């Protein structure tokens, strides 16, 4: 019979798994809405600007409808983001107790941006009719800044977890001093922050474009749909090559700062030069099975020479190696693969525009765009799997293990199951509501813009 | 005042803003719940919806603000509260998700059954959320959160004082909401709704006052330290709250509208600051005080700097939003 200590250990291991799954699930849900929140202002303001500048009713209608969509997605994003704030404490109390005063600095700044976005989003969304055109446009600009600033703060906090610095511990492991600027600008922020902001713009851009691509495939090829496709798609495509460059810098940064994570997602078993870059496959202790291997490319990508020595898992203590190497390997490859597929899509659009000032004529282009939104979301999920699973077993790299951070509370699996049901309903309802709005807009045609996401049944009933 | 004390004051400021403005949004949900059938309650519901639509998300951010300031400036307190009161906190989080989502969805769906289901979800979760948040505050005041965390999961908050505090949170939110809705109806020239909410404000005020008196009794029994300081150091604030409460009562009975909102806000805010004064210098009475729980100096400075920035940017922006909403420049009709 196991002793009480063993039972306690088993309980905390079970909690660890439940807490990690729950965090991953709720974060994966929220990140989609967060991406829209970060990048939506740029999309809507672009449409709004075109509408005002060229007196273009199609662009204005797009801006108005997108702002109504944002009213729904921002609400869902705000509440699922709040859940994450609770989860920090409910799932990881030891982490918060020991390091809340360090990385909380980034979140305090995030609070400013969240306020800014909530306030000006409300003014923008509910100010269409009564504010003058340009005054209304400018009321939306703080949202744009807030989206980027908020993303910076949150991702800077995550970057700190990967490359922690800016604090002093006493003998008991308590934080006794902090250096806020070092916390905010830990080494990984340089690549993590732009990588995520670009990802958010790509998710929102491809996602919005994919909606109009589906509409065009159904034969709705009016100017409204073309513009609705082109504005977000152009922004997303233009940023794709920049993202691939930033991603490349990020991978080298990880190789430098977190060799265990890098060895994990590249499945490098033995330290040495001339490492093979594998595409796909299954990671085993004897190397990658069933993959396409390009000899020397991995070393070359890390140090621009096949002689570059890359750390393998053999040089990482066994209890500090990341788990689930096949998952990491496939997630990384999927993210990079999707990135290059998007680059091809961007090239296709650029070529067609250069030759004919039009989108490619074939329906295959629209089909590709119509799946690009979901593909972008999958790429973001894969990227976060690489970042977060790849950092394990650490919650704060080198300083605190995730198992030390987890709560002792009971019933985490139960709460997790309930959360999955709740979020399934939340996600399904969000999609149904947005589809219902789109259907009503189609039925109303040009004129009817009275329907609002929140709109009371009878306007002005109280007057 | 030390930096740590200043951070605690910021925490209380955030709590006041959330209790007043966030609390009123929750209270409006209670009135939505009690508005009656779809036909009968439609007018009150339309008024409620118009009043909270443009502002509820900005008001909700105060909760994030409180959480972040607490975990940054006083991480030990945050961890102790979270690891002890995880049951009511999880239920409050559930309520937050349901309230926000259902409110945003309600009028974007067609068909009465779907609207009714979402409306009921919004309304019920508007009651559940402040109630469980109140139990958290009551449990803290009772001294049921040990500084090392992992206190009793159920008996820490299933006690008279926490449960009364939960009820008081619901009632004071309903009270503020009714007062704000009286003012909004008055401004819109809707005398029927003005009278409707004035009656409810009166009822909620009396219930909140009664709960406050019962709370005082429970405080005497379960939280002696807090009680003794409240009736000595906190006495001026208690008097302010009582006077403001009676002022509101008199205005409502005399159909006065000027000063109604400031007085109602003062009545609620004075209670929150009275609680703060009564707990001082403890964050977890009587085991963990502000100085012992405080983060290192540079972190506290960061919090103060962020708050200073918020004071010159966010507060005016919030004022702008409220002003635009009050003048109907920003609102559902402007969408």
- Answer yes or no: is pLDDT of A75 > 90: yes
Contact status, residue A139 vs residue A120, Cβ threshold 8 Å: yes
Rg of chain A, C-alpha, whole Å: 24
Two structure tokens written together for A361: 């004529």
Residues 134-193 of B with CB under 8 A from A: 149-150, 153, 185, 188-190, 193
Alpha helices, DSSP H only, in chain B? 3-17, 23-33, 42-52, 56-73, 75-84, 86-106, 112-141, 160-187, 191-222, 224-230, 235-253, 260-279, 290-293, 297-326
Rounded Cα–Cα distance for residues A284 and A281 (Å): 10
Q: Identify the band that residue A410 occupies on the pLDDT scale cut at 50, 70 and 90.
A: confident
Two structure tokens written together for B324: 């635009």
Strand partners, B284: B288
A contacts of B46 (beta carbons < 8 Å):
456-458, 461-462
Q: What is the pLDDT of residue A455?
A: 32
Contacts of B250 (CB under 8 A, 6+ apart): B256
Q: What is the pLDDT of residue B284?
A: 94
Length of chain A: 463
Calculate the dihedral angle through the C-alpha atoms of B271, B276, B280, B282, rounding to the nearest 10 degrees. 130
Q: What is the pLDDT of residue B332?
A: 76
B contacts of A88 (beta carbons < 8 Å):
71
Rounded Cα–Cα distance for residues A116 and A111 (Å): 9
Q: What is the pLDDT of residue B109?
A: 78
Rounded Cα–Cα distance for residues B284 and B13 (Å): 18
Task: Average the pLDDT over A320-349 and give the result.
Answer: 94
How many other CB atoms are found less than 10 A from the CB of residue B309?
Answer: 13
Under 8 Å CB pairs connecting chains A and B tally to: 279
Task: Give how far Cα B300 sits from Cα of A225, B3, B5, B287, B311, Å.
Answer: 51, 6, 10, 21, 16
Rounded Cα–Cα distance for residues B6 and B17 (Å): 16
Alpha helices, DSSP H only, in A269-411? 297-303, 325-356, 363-391, 402-405
Task: Average the pLDDT over A259-279 and give the result.
Answer: 91
Task: Average the pLDDT over A339-368 and give the result.
Answer: 95
3-state secondary structure A442-458: HHHCCCCCCCCCCCCCC
Rounded Cα–Cα distance for residues B290 and B11 (Å): 12
Q: In chain B, how many domains are there?
A: 1
Q: Identify the band that residue A52 occupies on the pLDDT scale cut at 50, 70 and 90.
A: very high
How many other CB atoms are found less than 10 A from the CB of residue A363?
Answer: 12
A contacts of B69 (beta carbons < 8 Å):
108
User: Beta A282-284 vs A287-289: how paired, if at all?
Assistant: antiparallel
Q: Identify the band that residue A43 occupies on the pLDDT scale cut at 50, 70 and 90.
A: very high
Q: What is the pLDDT of residue B226?
A: 95
Q: A373: distance to nearest CA of chain B, Å?
A: 23
Q: What is the pLDDT of residue A129?
A: 85
- Residue range of the domain that includes B187: 3-334
Rounded Cα–Cα distance for residues A128 and A208 (Å): 21
Q: Report CB contact under 8 Å: A410, B64.
A: no
Q: B331: distance to nearest CA of chain A, Å?
A: 5
Low-confidence stretches of chain B (pLDDT < 70) are 107, 333-335
Q: Report CB contact under 8 Å: A433, B109.
A: yes
Q: What is the pLDDT of residue A14?
A: 85
Kindly report the pTM of this predicted structure: 0.93
Q: Write out pLDDT tens, residues B50-97.
A: 999 999 999 999 999 999 999 999 999 999 999 999 999 999 999 999
Q: Write out pLDDT tens, residues B321-334.
A: 999 998 888 887 66
Task: Average the pLDDT over A395-421 and give the result.
Answer: 93
Q: If DSSP codes are grouped into helix, strand and coil, which group holds residue A463?
A: coil
Identify the residue whose tokens are 């090829």.
Answer: A221
Identify the residue whose tokens are 């439940």.
Answer: A18
Q: Report CB contact under 8 Å: A128, B334.
A: yes
**What percent of chain A stands above pLDDT 90?**
77
Q: Report CB contact under 8 Å: A96, B81.
A: no
- Give CB contacts under 8 A, 24+ apart, made by A46-49: A46/A231, A46/A235, A47/A227, A47/A231, A48/A136, A48/A137, A48/A140, A49/A137
Contact status, residue B218 vs residue B161, Cβ threshold 8 Å: yes
Instruction: Report the mean per-residue pLDDT for chain A.
Output: 90
Two structure tokens written together for A213: 């691509």
Closest CB to B79: pick one of A89, A122, A432.
A89
Residue in chain B nearest A167 by alpha carbon: B296
Two structure tokens written together for A462: 């109280």
Rounded Cα–Cα distance for residues A131 and A135 (Å): 6
Q: What is the pLDDT of residue B78?
A: 96
Contacts of B114 (CB under 8 A, 6+ apart): none
Q: Report CB contact under 8 Å: B60, A81.
A: no
Rounded Cα–Cα distance for residues A107 and A85 (Å): 10
Contact status, residue A105 vs residue A184, Cβ threshold 8 Å: yes
Residue in chain A nearest B148 by alpha carbon: A97
B170: closest CA among B111, B213, B127? B127
- Answer yes or no: is pLDDT of A3 > 70: no
Q: Write out pLDDT tens, residues A201-227.
A: 999 999 999 999 999 999 898 999 999
- A450 burial (CB, 10 Å; 0-12 / 13-18 / 19+) is exposed
Q: What is the pLDDT of residue A454?
A: 29
How many other CB atoms are found less than 10 A from the CB of residue A434?
Answer: 17
One DSSP character per residue, A129-198 reads TTS-HHHHHHHHHHHHHHHHHHHHHHHHHHHHHHS--SEEE-TTS-EEEE-HHHHHT-TTHHHHHHHHHH
Exposure on the CB side of residue A402, measured as CA atoms within 13 A:
25
Identify the residue whose tokens are 């009321």.
Answer: A139
Q: Identify the band that residue A446 occupies on the pLDDT scale cut at 50, 70 and 90.
A: low
Rounded Cα–Cα distance for residues A61 and A451 (Å): 13
Residues 191-220 of B with CB under 8 A from A: 193
Q: State the angle between helix axes of B42-52 and B23-33 in degrees (0 to 180), rounded to the nearest 10.
A: 170
B contacts of A99 (beta carbons < 8 Å):
75
Q: Identify the band that residue A319 occupies on the pLDDT scale cut at 50, 70 and 90.
A: very high
Rounded Cα–Cα distance for residues B329 and B223 (Å): 47
Contact status, residue B248 vs residue B263, Cβ threshold 8 Å: yes
Q: Write out pLDDT tens, residues A360-382.
A: 989 999 999 999 999 999 999 99
Q: Identify the band that residue A228 occupies on the pLDDT scale cut at 50, 70 and 90.
A: very high
Exposure on the CB side of residue B174, measured as CA atoms within 13 A:
29
Residue in chain A nearest B80 by alpha carbon: A93
Rounded Cα–Cα distance for residues A77 and B100 (Å): 10
Q: B134: distance to nearest CA of chain A, Å?
A: 16
Strand partners, A400: A396
Contacts of A45 (CB under 8 A, 6+ apart): A63, A137, A140, A141, A143, A144
């Amino acid at each position: 019979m196991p002793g009480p200590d063993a039972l306690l250990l088993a309980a905390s291991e079970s909690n660890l798994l439940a807490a990690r799954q729950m965090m991953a699930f709720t974060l994966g849900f929220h990140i989609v809405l967060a991406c829209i929140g970060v990048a939506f202002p740029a999309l809507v303001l672009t449409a709004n600007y075109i509408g005002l500048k060229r007196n273009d009713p199609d662009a204005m209608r797009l801006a108005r409808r997108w702002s109504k969509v944002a009213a729904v997605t921002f609400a869902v994003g705000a509440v699922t983001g709040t859940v994450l704030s609770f989860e920090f404490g409910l799932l990881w109390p030891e982490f918060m107790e020991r390091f809340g005063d360090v990385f909380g600095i980034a979140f305090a700044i995030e609070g400013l941006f969240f306020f800014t976005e909530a306030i000006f989003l409300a003014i923008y969304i509910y100010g269409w009719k009564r504010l003058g055109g340009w005054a209304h446009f400018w009321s939306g600009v703080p949202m744009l800044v807030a989206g980027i600033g908020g993303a910076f703060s949150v991702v800077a906090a995550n970057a700190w977890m990967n490359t922690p610095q800016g604090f002093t511990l006493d003998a008991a492991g308590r934080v006794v001093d902090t250096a806020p600027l070092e916390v905010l600008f830990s080494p990984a922020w340089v690549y993590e922050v732009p990588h995520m902001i670009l990802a958010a713009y790509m998710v929102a851009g491809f996602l919005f474009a994919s909606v109009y691509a589906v509409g065009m495939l159904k034969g709705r090829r009016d100017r409204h749909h073309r513009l609705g496709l082109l504005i977000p798609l152009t922004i997303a495509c233009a940023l794709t090559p920049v993202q691939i460059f930033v991603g490349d810098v990020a991978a080298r940064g990880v190789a430098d700062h977190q060799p265990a994570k890098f060895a994990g997602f590249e499945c490098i078993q033995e330290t040495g030069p001339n490492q093979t870059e594998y595409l796909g496959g299954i990671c085993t202790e004897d190397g990658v099975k069933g993959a396409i291997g390009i000899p020397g490319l991995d070393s070359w990508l890390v140090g621009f020479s096949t002689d570059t020595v890359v750390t393998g898992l053999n040089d990482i203590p066994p209890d500090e190696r990341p788990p689930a190497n096949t998952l990491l390997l496939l997630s990384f490859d999927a993210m990079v693969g999707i990135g290059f597929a998007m680059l091809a899509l961007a090239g296709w659009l650029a070529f067609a525009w250069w030759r004919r000032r039009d989108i490619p004529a074939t329906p295959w282009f629209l089909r590709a765009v119509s799946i690009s939104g979901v593909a972008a979301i999958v790429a973001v999920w894969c990227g976060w799997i690489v970042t977060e699973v790849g950092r394990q077993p650490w919650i704060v790299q080198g300083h605190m293990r995730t198992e030390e951070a987890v709560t002792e509370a009971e019933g985490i699996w139960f709460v997790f199951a309930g959360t999955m049901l709740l979020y399934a309903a939340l996600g399904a309802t969000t999609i149904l509501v947005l589809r219902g709005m789109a259907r009503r807009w189609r039925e109303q045609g040009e004129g009817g813009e009275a329907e609002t996401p929140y709109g009371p049944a009878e306007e002005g009933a109280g007057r | 005042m030390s930096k740590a004390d200043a951070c605690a004051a910021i925490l209380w400021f955030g709590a006041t803003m959330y209790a007043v403005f966030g609390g009123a949004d929750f209270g409006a949900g209670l009135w939505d719940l009690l508005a009656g059938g779809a036909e009968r309650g439609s007018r009150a519901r339309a008024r409620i919806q118009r009043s909270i639509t443009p502002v509820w998300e900005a008001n909700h951010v105060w909760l994030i603000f409180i959480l972040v300031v607490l975990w940054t400036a006083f991480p030990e307190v945050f961890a102790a509260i979270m690891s002890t009161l995880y049951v009511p906190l999880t239920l409050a989080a559930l309520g937050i998700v349901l309230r926000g989502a259902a409110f945003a969805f309600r009028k974007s769906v067609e068909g009465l059954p779907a609207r009714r289901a979402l409306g009921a979800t919004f309304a019920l979760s508007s009651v559940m959320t402040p109630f469980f948040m109140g139990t958290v505050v009551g449990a803290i005041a009772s001294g049921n959160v040990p500084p090392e965390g992992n206190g009793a999961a159920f008996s820490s908050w299933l006690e008279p004082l926490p449960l009364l505090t939960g009820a008081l949170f619901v009632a004071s939110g309903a009270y503020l909401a009714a007062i704000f809705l009286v003012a909004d109806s008055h401004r819109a020239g809707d005398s029927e709704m003005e009278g409707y909410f004035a009656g409810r404000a009166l009822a909620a005020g009396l219930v909140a006052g009664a709960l406050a008196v019962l709370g005082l009794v429970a405080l005497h029994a379960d939280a002696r330290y807090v009680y003794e300081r409240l009736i000595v150091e906190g006495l001026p604030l208690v008097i302010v709250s009582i006077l403001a409460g009676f002022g509101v009562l008199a205005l409502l009975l005399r159909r006065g509208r000027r000063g109604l909102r400031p007085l109602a806000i003062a009545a609620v805010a004075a209670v929150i600051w009275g609680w703060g004064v009564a707990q001082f210098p403890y964050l977890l009475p009587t085991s963990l005080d502000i100085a012992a729980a405080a983060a290192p100096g540079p972190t506290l400075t960061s919090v103060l700097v962020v708050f200073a920035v918020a004071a010159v940017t966010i507060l005016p922006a919030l004022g702008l939003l409220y002003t635009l909403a009050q003048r109907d420049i920003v609102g559902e009709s402007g969408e």
